[in-house]
Structure 1
Amino acid sequence: MPHYNLIDLLLTMMVFVVWPVSSFFVGRQFDRAPLDEAGLLRRYWKIIVKGILISSLILVSWYWFSRSYLALGLQIGVLGQLGLVLDVLLVALCAYILLFQEMSPDKLRLLRVSGEVRNCPPSESEN
């Protein structure tokens, strides 16, 4: 039988109670507010920060209590590590393209008309 501790209970409560309730109330708040690019971006960053926070808490808990990283699937071979590095580079490239490259208003308008971009409202430069 594995040994559970207070941090395990905290992580479980955060994942199964706190964040779903928080998500419910934040979702209702976003439903009432008009969708704009800044609000949508802020919502995405909150999701990213929550994911990084819970992953960090799990790793700290595993380290603090000297648990085997094999149970988390973190002891992988050289090819697995190479694959992980390639995945990180691919995600970094996609994030760079999405966050830092500017798209012309004409191209953005064309994408919206074609239906490929559905969740972004028109920006001020397009109006």
Structure 2
Amino acid sequence: MQPTPYEPVRGFVEIEEGACCVGGKAGDSLEIETAFQASSPLGEVTQMRVRFGSRPFAEEQLTAAEWESFVPLKVFHIEIVINWVGYYVSVQYMDENGNLSAVYQGDISVEGHP
């Protein structure tokens, strides 16, 4: 079977249970919990590649991320800075037959205070 791009693998990513924003004292560290879910009618979703940063990443930019085993939850650590900063999680999933999902993205704003 020839793997097909973007079909039929589907999924999503959710940061901090869908919250718009989190915050804390500047200089402190913060854990950002991110949930992943994906499915495919043609096989088990076994791999994903993820990038976390201050901007969203397109598929071409996700190639810099290694494929890793699918996990339903990851925690990203950040250092809080003064003011508002946006963070993004971009993910692509792959099933056991090599079928890919589209790139899914989530975002959250972090407010730092003195």
Instruction: Pick the TM interval, shorter chain.
Output: under 0.3
Greater strand percent: which structure? 2
Greater relative CO, 1 or 2 (CA 8 Å, sep 6+): 2
Say which structure is richer in helix. Answer: 1
Could you say which structure has the larger radius of gyration?
1
If the length of structure 2 is used for normalisation, what is the TM-score? 0.19
